[in-house]
Amino acid sequence: MTANNKAIPVGSLVLVTGINGYIASHVADQLLKRGYRVRGTARSTEKLNAIVKTLKARTPGAVVEGVVIEDMQADGAFAQAVQDAAGVIHVASDLSLSPDPNKVIPATIAGLKNALDAAAASATVKKVVYTSSVVTLPQVKTGSPGQISASDWNAESVKQAWAPPPYEADRMLAVYGASKVESEQFAWKYVQEKKLHFVFNTVLPAIVCGPVLEGANKSSAAFIEGLHSGDQGSTDLIRRLLEMSTWHVDVEDTALLHVAALLEEDVKDERILAIGETCTYREVIEALKKIDPSKIDYAEPANEDRNIVAVDTSRTVEILKRYGRPGITSLVETLSKQLSNKVQV
């Protein structure tokens, strides 16, 4: 499909929420490189200015602007930001990792509802994409065979998140997972019941790795950098993340899947799996040792079983090939890109 046959024509305006975020900044970057105009939101002028400066430097002549939205939960939060936009990519989310579901889940749903409300009220929006997560898929027991698909959901994290208090730190990943499950399910119900004029898709990233754009939040990339530098907190968190989501994905692959979900005519009503190779903590540190042989003193892993649950990523690969990628980027290549240039200008 040529650029002239996209669902949204080149030169159109696209709203990207949370543009200073790790994934969102790359989404905006890929859109600008393809000739689209971008309007991004962030919680402060300072955050907006930093990422807008980087994006303009990376694509000279690019048209990118920012809108400050301090509170996504406020009624009508995106009403002005969505004006004249042909597409919306809602990436912004609660990444506080609070263990209290009452603080995270309703807020995540409210922010998404406001984005959908704004798109529904717009006469110009043709497609909306929501950044969900691979944690919305069922948790898998490593070492046990099985198969999961984009039609499956993670009920266990929802159950764990809403269990009676106390809300202690060991609940935070379950709460994050539940926030993504409940918000995405809300969105699908919202779109189906209201029979809206726009096409809706979601993208489900695994643990995202790869280079960080200057001025963007590091998010999960910071955990990899922390693991490489020997930070114990990052090491512990990576281990826990790999227990919950045993796949990685390259941030640039993830961004391109968002772009495809917005631009490709045949991508409709889909949950797109942004999933790369399955990996264990041991495989992550072995990859890091291969990239940087001078650093070998990582915390040794306990005995680990490899994830052998099958996930069909043929659709993911097919979409990436449309955008010039040979397929899903390997773990070693992704980590090499990240550590060789920790912040990209």
| pLDDT score for 178 | 98
Checking if the pLDDT of 306 tops 90, the result is no
pLDDT digits 0-9 by tens, 183-210:
999 999 999 999 999 999 999 999 999 9
Q: Which residue has the higher pLDDT, 244 or 184?
A: 184
Checking if the pLDDT of 166 tops 70, the result is yes
Average pLDDT over every residue of 199-226:
93
Q: Which fold has domain 3-344?
A: Rossmann fold (3.40.50)
pLDDT band at 342 (very low <50, low <70, confident <90, very high): low
Q: Which of 4-8, 61-65, 159-163, 327-331 has the lowest mean pLDDT?
A: 4-8
Average pLDDT over every residue of 209-221:
93
Q: Residue 113 belongs to what H/E stretch? A: helix 101-121
> Does residue 337 contact residue 210 with C-beta atoms inside 8 Å?
yes
Average pLDDT over every residue of 241-255:
85
Rounded to 10 deg, the angle between the 232-244 and 172-194 helix axes is 50
Is the pTM value of this prediction over 0.75?
Answer: yes
| pLDDT score for 216 | 96
Burial per residue of 103-140, b for 16 or more beta-carbon CB atoms within 10 angstroms, e otherwise:
ebbebbbbbbbbbbbbbbebeebbbbbbbbbbbbbbbb
Mean pLDDT of the chain: 92
Distance of CA 9 to the CA centre of its chain: 24
Checking if the pLDDT of 309 tops 90, the result is no
β-bridge pairing 248-250 and 207-209: parallel
Q: Which of 32-46, 134-148, 166-180 has the lowest mean pLDDT?
A: 134-148
| pLDDT score for 239 | 79
Q: Which of 27-41, 64-78, 98-112, 210-224 has the lowest mean pLDDT?
A: 210-224
